[in-house]
Structure 1
Amino acid sequence: MRHAQDGAAAAMNAVSRILVARGKHEPHELDNPDVAWGQRTREGVWAPTRDGQRIHIGIAVSGDQPATVLRPSLRVFVGVEVDTDIVAQTTDSGVRLLTVLHGPDAPTEFRFPLSLAEGLALEAMPSGGYDVVHLRYGATVGRFYNPWAADSMFRPVKADYALEGSTVVMRVQHHGSYYPVVADPLYSR
């Protein structure tokens, strides 16, 4: 239990420093009753869409870690991959999966398998993100914003998405960075 608490504190420290440096335009953590987190990493999260449905965002990692719940809207999954933690945050309109890479041995790809409700599909956007689109009406009901990443010197680190079937793959080219590196997949309805 002590290891999880130390790891959670280290991940939170890295995330806090980067978010403060990025400024006030970041979405704020907020309890949202429409968001339901699983107890373990692979269980992921159920997040709302604008049309009242839910999508499931899985977290496909080698270690299925229990969450260290800091408060209802904030949890940390410690050691999900080599040198990697995930700080999972509920926002007023969705979720963030702040991925903290602690060293050069951390992976460069992270998979988030999606389960979409009937009638919803992903559509690639020119920004590099993906919209969740209601097929019947053509309306955007959710969005995966293009990911960003930064190192401990607050320098940008290249991050982007690829789509493999129904899995969003975040790629982070972190080699040569100052660690920890924080990458931010953000979903919002």
Structure 2
Amino acid sequence: MRRNLSVLAVVAVMVSALTPSVAFANGTDTNGGSDFDLAAVDALGLLDGPQALPPSAREQNGLPPTADAPPAPTGELSPDSGLTVSVPSGTVALSPSDVGSGELVADGDALHYTADDYSVLLTGEGSAANAGYIVINDAAAPTSYSFDMTANGAPAVLVETDGLVRIEDRATGEVVNTLSRPWAVDAEGSSITTWYSVEGSVLTQHVDHQGATYPVVADPRLMCDALFCTFEYTRAETKSMASTSTFPSALLTAACTALGTPLAGVLCGLSGAYVISKANEIRNSGKCVGLRRFHYTTAVPPLIVAVNCYA
């Protein structure tokens, strides 16, 4: 089992009640518990931390030629407070609602919670992302999963816009972090309908999993870490970006706005031809396109980087 986990997200995994165990694509056969949940997430490649990069791939990740691997997530895990992520504008904490305390597993790289019909995995430093993964055990499991959010130590203000959720400081109104657009896939890689709703400081991800092939994985993740913010695209969106006939300029502009770049109205200052060329290069390497803005270089266009495809 790979132990590196570094993503910001929530994962919902569901297993049919008709079978006592599930065989995953990676050969794991298990009956439940934290090993089952880790295997379900790992089967989608979501537990991989930063890997060593050949020189040709370093530019794709916005790294200098001497860098060996992408920067790792910096989220901290605690059984009491869940996942906490610090950025220049403050800290955001995320924990599942109404499931009690978590237990550190996978050598401390994940925080595992159990409920009656599902489980939750939170990941931060040492993993693929700053994320919260919900693992659901059967088709009778609920279709809504909630998380409590704080910003700078107080209940956050959550604002949904264009599928994203801004996490604001209640006292100042400043945006501290942003949740990426929700996604969900089943065991065959098919996209599952999913969406967010917000009420006060509680985020809920809804997953319409009926009729899916289990397990189903759904993931809300934080866009920003200590060093940068990344807007990640799906396989289908990366394919569209690689074509002159389907190039989604509106989607790129939306990402520029979400990243807070002052060049939002002009494709972040990037030319369409350059984006198409980079998207083709990244797609041919088996990755998906990401737009990355480093906190200390906000006056320049964001970088186009290669990220792992999760949907």
> Aligned match of 2:79 in 13, 18, 39?
39
Q: Given that residues 70 and 76 in structure 1 are in contact (C-alpha distance below 8 angstroms), is that contact kept between their aligned partners in structure 2? A: no
1:48-80 per-position Cα deviation (integer Å, ceiling 9, x unaligned): 2331x212222113x425314213332332x32
Distance 2:186 2:136 in 1: 9
Per-residue deviation, 1:122:
3.0
Aligned pair in 2 of structure 1 residues 134, 65: CA closer, same or farther (>3 Å)? closer
Match of 1:113 in 2: 148
Tell me the residue number matched to 2:38: 12
1:122 counterpart letter in structure 2? L
Higher helix share: 2
Structure 2: any 5+ residue segments left out of the alignment? Answer: 1-30, 51-69, 225-311
Q: What TM-score does the superposition give when structure 2 sets the normalisation length?
A: 0.47
Report the Cα offset of residue 140 of structure 1. Answer: 4.2
Show CA shifts across 1:95-127 (max 9, x none): 211222231111111111112237x7433221x
Using the alignment, how far apart are the partners of 1:188 and 1:81 within structure 2? 30
The percent identity for this pair of structures is 19
Counterparts of residues 7-156 of structure 1 (less than 5 Å) = 7-19=33-45, 30=72, 32=74, 35-39=75-79, 43-51=81-89, 53-61=90-98, 63-77=99-113, 79-82=114-117, 84-90=118-124, 95-117=130-152, 121-126=157-162, 128-133=163-168, 140-156=175-191
**Contact 1:31 1:72 (8 Å CA) reproduced:** no
TM-superposed deviation, 1:135: 8.2
156-165 or 93-102: bigger deviation:
93-102
Task: Name the count of aligned residue pairs.
Answer: 170
Structure number with larger C-alpha Rg: 2
Q: State the TM-score, normalizing by the size of structure 1.
A: 0.74
Go from structure 1 to structure 2 and tell me whether the alpha carbon gap of 1:137 and 1:59 turns closer, same or farther (over 3 Å shift). closer
- Contact residue 29 and residue 74 of structure 1 kept, 8 A: no
- Which AA in structure 1 matches 2:109? S
Structure 1 Cα separation of the partners of residues 95 and 111 of structure 2: 15
Q: CA deviation at 1:138?
A: 7.5
Alpha-carbon distance in 1 for matches of 2:130, 2:96: 13
CA contact (8 A) 2:160 2:197 kept: no
Are residues 17 and 29 of structure 1, via their aligned partners in 2, closer, same or farther at CA, if it must alter by over 3 Å? farther
Show structure 1 runs of 4+ deviating over 3 A.
Answer: 28-31, 91-94, 133-141
Stretch of structure 1 that moved more, 130-139 or 84-93: 130-139
Residue equivalent to 1:170 = 205
Taking the aligned partners of 2:86 and 2:168, their CA distance within structure 1 comes to 13
SS class of match (2:218): strand
* Structure 1 residue 133, shift from structure 2 partner: 4.3
Instruction: Compute the displacement of 1:44 (Å).
Output: 2.2
Helix, strand or coil for the counterpart of 2:106?
strand
The CA distance in 2 between the partners of 1:136 and 1:87, in whole Å, is 30
Aligned 8 A contact 1:50 1:142 in 2: no
Give the number of the structure whose residues are more often strand, by fraction: 1
